Structure 1
């Protein structure tokens, strides 16, 4: 190359072409990259300033992703607390339903449903997590949302614990006691005995007749109702026959014994004695020179009933027209049954067994009706205090079952206390939901701000480094024109050098 000699004109045009090519290369590079500063060599100040802005934008972009995840965690907790609020309101509705009925059985069912709802609340709280973070899960679940690159701007969302409804720092709602039933049984047995009271002419005595008109009784006789024959056993009642003692006095005396019923037939003079247990109407006759001649006037031998036995047959516990009422411990009447001449043991068992939470069975071998109830229960009779009288020790008007445990909704006071706790829980839930809502709005606002700030930083970096494509396009067009003109000028210069060839 050193041996080649170019004219000054050609060399000048060649340098112009080379300079234009360099300029075109720079323009084409800026158009291709879109940047007017591609490295520190282009503009050190703009390059490093733009790099700092871009790095911060990149850091904030990473934080933006974390903010998005924090936002989802709060949303999960917010959805959970909203649903828990619905469940607590449903539990309150159950309590109000229980308050509207006096039935212990229905209240016990509502108490069980209430406990099921509390279990669902705990399960839902446990399920309200997002990527392992649960703001309803208590300790260890606090959430921190970071808003700037040096961690000086952040928001801490404190977790609450609803996974255990009994916590005083949470919902403070405890499971209710669930009813545990009880059982009782009563004996169905009895027998019938009678004595016909007639005078010396064999005419039937009336209820107003003197007892001494009966051929077997004289003034001074001592008549007793005993638990064993021939004067043995205990004396249940005693009547000393006086000059004015009537048949009705004897009937009234015997009929007043618990578990014993006395009925007198004015037409036939028959004194019928119905008893749940063995009894004997005994007369200590003081005739024959003061020597007592004991006489069993009437005897009753009891026997166990069968399922088909009519209740009025041989039992003093029932009379036609008696109303048996089944009530729970709150006095809520489950139903009533009227005793008729056709009523059997089986009919009574079916009546008791017909109600929810109550079951009844009859044992032929023992003669007992056994009643099982989920709640407190009583079976009472309206017209007699001899119902379920046992062994002549006391009068009784019914059978009572005491449940092993009443439900937590057994009384109005207990239900109202639960409603008060539910109202407090709802207030706390709504307050916590409001707090989560505030946190959610804060993170969303900071997220939007961060997006705008990232855009500002990237825009600022672009102002320092981005090329103006319109200007660069115009520059390229001008350089192309210059290149063409330089090429034409170089051609002219070369032609001038070639004129010497015309001499040859």
Structure 2
């Protein structure tokens, strides 16, 4: 096929139109993509430089996400430490409250509340995790935050362990011993009898009367208080009747025996003997051929019942006696004054009325059992033989020894706990400060990384982004050029057409 021959003018205008169309296509692509460099063909140097900058920006963006997660992990640990600090301060308040009272029962309550707070501290530490990472849970929870793409800049936070408060590397706070009570008991039994002391004329003997004036007694006789009848058993006490021995001497001798009480009625001469155990009062007649003891009187003891009056048959009580209940610190829980009609039940109710103390009475055995959460003592104010048995004085009273005293039982123990709490608070504040520094570091590096990413992207943009204003103007100019080229092409074609007019 023969080629079409174009005139020089037409061919030139056609080439111009093709060139303009190609340039318009390029400008339109720049406007569509916003980039003046879309591939290495456009500008290899700018393209690969911008690609490197964008790649680094993308790497830093990934690290920025990791920094954000590290930041949340540190914030979680910081919140945990703040809460643990509040709990330790509450535990310190409990120790101070215990120090302000001498009541062992109240101190035991504070010790239990203290232990509950330590348990809460451990629970908070265990709960302070974020996405499986817990800076308060010790080994295996160290946090490393990477700040640059080649990992040469990083920060490692060493985890502490507060999940176990007893660790010496942590809070070093141990649970306190909680009070475990004990029990004790004492016998309520006894009896009484009397003998009327009259002289030969039938007149009552007073305390100042000579004992030898009593019918049947003479100087040299030995009066014995024994533990068995018919002169058996052992001698509890004895008194030899002398020329100046008075009735008061006999009363004093009998009343001086633990668990025995002697009283003389000055008007009637009646000598009342009350004893917690069986006793027998004998007269050994020195003038007789055989020293056959004569039974003056005897006391047979019996168990009390709940309704028995304390003064009936027991030598441990007297009207006006005050029974005091104290714990191991000497803290007085209360007192009970013996009255004429005070009963065993009244005594039980008194003891049973206090927190941490209970009392019961066994009618069958006549025993009062006292149970207490703490050390306890029940003692009488003016009787050194309270609860005396077998004629042995009990100068302490009835004591309950707790199996285990609470960790707050003494001031010394409390002060040691306070010292540990103060150390723990100091360590917590130091650790909180360290986490705060780490938190600030991550935040600063996070802001820096954001700015670096913006800088890298901005630099890449300067190499590849198109100036839309400029490209818009270029497109408009090219459109104008295209129109002019089309018109010029038309003119050139018209010039060729004039040849037809010759035919």
Q: State TM-score, norm by structure 1.
A: 0.97
Correspondence for 2:194: 194
Correspondence for 1:460: 459
**Counterparts of residues 78-97 of structure 1 (less than 5 Å):** 78-97=78-97
| Contact 1:388/1:396 (<8 A) preserved | no
| Contact 2:279/2:300 (<8 A) preserved | yes
| Contact 1:286/1:293 (<8 A) preserved | no
Alpha-carbon distance in structure 2 between the residues aligned to 1:242 and 1:465: 136
**Counterparts of residues 93-132 of structure 1 (less than 5 Å):** 93-132=93-132
Correspondence for 1:60: 60
**Counterparts of residues 114-153 of structure 1 (less than 5 Å):** 114-153=114-153
Alpha-carbon distance in structure 2 between the residues aligned to 1:400 and 1:2: 137
Alpha-carbon distance in structure 2 between the residues aligned to 1:245 and 1:33: 135
Correspondence for 1:496: 495
Correspondence for 2:402: 403
Q: Give 1:494 deviation, angstroms.
A: 2.8
Alpha-carbon distance in structure 2 between the residues aligned to 1:397 and 1:197: 36
**Counterparts of residues 362-373 of structure 1 (less than 5 Å):** 362-373=361-372
Q: Give 1:66 deviation, angstroms.
A: 1.0
Correspondence for 2:358: 359
Q: Give 1:335 deviation, angstroms.
A: 0.6
Measured on the aligned residues, the alpha-carbon RMSD in Å equals 1.4
Q: Give 1:100 deviation, angstroms.
A: 0.6
- Check if 1:7 corresponds to 2:46: no
Secondary structure, counterpart of 2:186 in structure 1: strand
| Contact 2:385/2:392 (<8 A) preserved | no
Secondary structure, counterpart of 1:464 in structure 2: helix
- Check if 1:332 corresponds to 2:331: yes
Alpha-carbon distance in structure 1 between the residues aligned to 2:324 and 2:501: 147
Correspondence for 2:41: 41
| Contact 2:259/2:392 (<8 A) preserved | no
Correspondence for 1:253: 253
- Check if 1:433 corresponds to 2:432: yes
| Contact 2:386/2:393 (<8 A) preserved | no
Alpha-carbon distance in structure 1 between the residues aligned to 2:242 and 2:230: 22
Alpha-carbon distance in structure 1 between the residues aligned to 2:457 and 2:190: 104
- Deviations 1:392-413 (CA, angstroms, capped at 9, x unpaired): 1334351011111111111111
Secondary structure, counterpart of 2:250 in structure 1: helix
Correspondence for 2:375: 376
Structure 2, unaligned runs of 5 or more:
none
Divergent runs of 4+, >6 A: none
Q: Paired residues, what number?
A: 503
Secondary structure, counterpart of 2:15 in structure 1: helix
- Check if 1:229 corresponds to 2:229: yes
Correspondence for 1:423: 422
Q: Give 1:74 deviation, angstroms.
A: 1.1
Secondary structure, counterpart of 1:115 in structure 2: helix
Correspondence for 1:274: 274
| Contact 1:327/1:378 (<8 A) preserved | yes
Q: Give 1:428 deviation, angstroms.
A: 1.0
